[in-house]
Structure 1
Amino acid sequence: MPVITRPPALEPPALTLLRPPALHLRSVPPELPFRPAVPTKATAKKVSFGPQATPRNALPDPIAHARALVLALLEVLSGRRPVQQLRAHLTEDAYHRLAGRLQRARAGVRSTPYRPRNRTRIHLGRTLLCEPADGVAEVTVLADVGTRTRAVAIRLEGLDGRWRCPVLTIL
């Protein structure tokens, strides 16, 4: 059903010549229909262009990711896989520490804890998971490398929607 309204006036209202308009010496700001929010420390959103933390519910299974990462790490240490394949799964600091360690080991300056041959069998055993905070997983994987058993402890942090490893330790 159409609504009939009065059209707006096309001309401004006529000014009366008998009384001039009052001049205000002080300007008064117009009243706003709302009160603008003033950002505080609690409500101010900081913009960051670095890696963004990801909550646990938005990340894949940490055990499966950790086992795949440990297997790839052991293959890198045995010489079956290039270290560059781990770059996407490690943070920059962890990657540079691992690459430097491998480079020193190959130069003979410092040896790695073990150097299995290319034909050495790698079998992953028991996996233990601890989640100390949201988006953080600490995983320990027992691995049989040839005749020796090693424990590999890694910390996974959810960054930019995927797991990244900032710390790894081979015992």
Structure 2
Amino acid sequence: MTTTTVAPPGAPAPQRVQPRLRALRYEPEPDTGPAQLALPTGTPGPPPPPGRPPAAQRTLEDGTVRRHAQGIVRLILEVLDGRRPVAHLNRHLEPGPLRYVAAAAGTRGGARRDGSARMRSLRLDQPRLGAAEVAAVCLLGGRIRALAARFELFDDAVGGWRCTALRIG
């Protein structure tokens, strides 16, 4: 983008300033690990947040995260479309997302409008072991909608991947 300035008569013409670019470093030096950056040796780290599941040993490469996420998103769409009751999501969603789906299903009245709900695409990212974030494009009520969800792996009586956060736009 160039800007033009007009100098008054008799004044020297303004000089054009060339911007300087500097390389920024976003990563630590190769010999510096995260433990060396965060705390000195022998200092205990902060305790893990309460109620969080332990880190799992599953990654995106083995495909289990994707299969579980796709299955749960399909269940959510079927509930929103009125083909399934909300109770089918009890073991797959935490209480907050479950209330969100129940409220959304209640506003739709359980009636299908322009065909059945379908998932068009799904993108998945794993920010850390034991957690996955999903962005999906869905056809819902004859409209294209975005769905964002977070899944975490729990090691409790129910076990498995559960949705801990959900939004439909």
- TM-score > 0.5 by shorter chain: yes
Q: Is the 8 A contact 2:151 2:161 kept in 1?
A: yes
Between the two proteins, the alignment pairs up a number of residues equal to 121
Give the 5 Å matches for 1:55-66.
55-57=56-58, 61-66=64-69
Query: 5+ residue gaps in structure 2?
Result: 1-42
Question: How far off its partner does 1:123 sit?
Answer: 2.5
Q: Is the 8 A contact 1:139 1:153 kept in 2?
A: yes
Separation in 1 of the partners of 2:77 and 2:124? Answer: 19
Go from structure 1 to structure 2 and tell me whether the alpha carbon gap of 1:159 and 1:71 turns closer, same or farther (over 3 Å shift): same
Larger radius of gyration: 1
1:132 is the counterpart of 2:127: yes
Question: Aligned residue for 1:168?
Answer: 166
Question: Aligned residue for 2:96?
Answer: 93
* Secondary structure of the structure 1 residue equivalent to 2:73: helix
Which is bigger in relative contact order (C-alpha 8 A, separation at least 6)? 1
Question: Aligned residue for 2:118?
Answer: 123
1:53 is the counterpart of 2:54: yes
RMSD: 3.4
One-letter amino acid matched to 1:140: A
Give the 5 Å matches for 1:57-76.
57=58, 61-76=64-79
One-letter amino acid matched to 1:96: R
Separation in 1 of the partners of 2:142 and 2:99? Answer: 29
One-letter amino acid matched to 2:167: T
1:84 is the counterpart of 2:79: no
Separation in 2 of the partners of 1:134 and 1:54? Answer: 5
Question: How far off its partner does 1:153 sit?
Answer: 0.9
Question: How far off its partner does 1:116 sit?
Answer: 5.5
Give the 5 Å matches for 1:11-22.
none
TM-score, with structure 1 as normaliser: 0.56
Go from structure 1 to structure 2 and tell me whether the alpha carbon gap of 1:153 and 1:102 turns closer, same or farther (over 3 Å shift): closer
Q: Which runs of 4+ in 1 moved over 6 A?
A: none
Q: Is the 8 A contact 1:154 1:167 kept in 2?
A: yes
Separation in 1 of the partners of 2:129 and 2:168? Answer: 25
Go from structure 1 to structure 2 and tell me whether the alpha carbon gap of 1:63 and 1:79 turns closer, same or farther (over 3 Å shift): same
Separation in 1 of the partners of 2:110 and 2:146? Answer: 15
* Secondary structure of the structure 1 residue equivalent to 2:145: strand
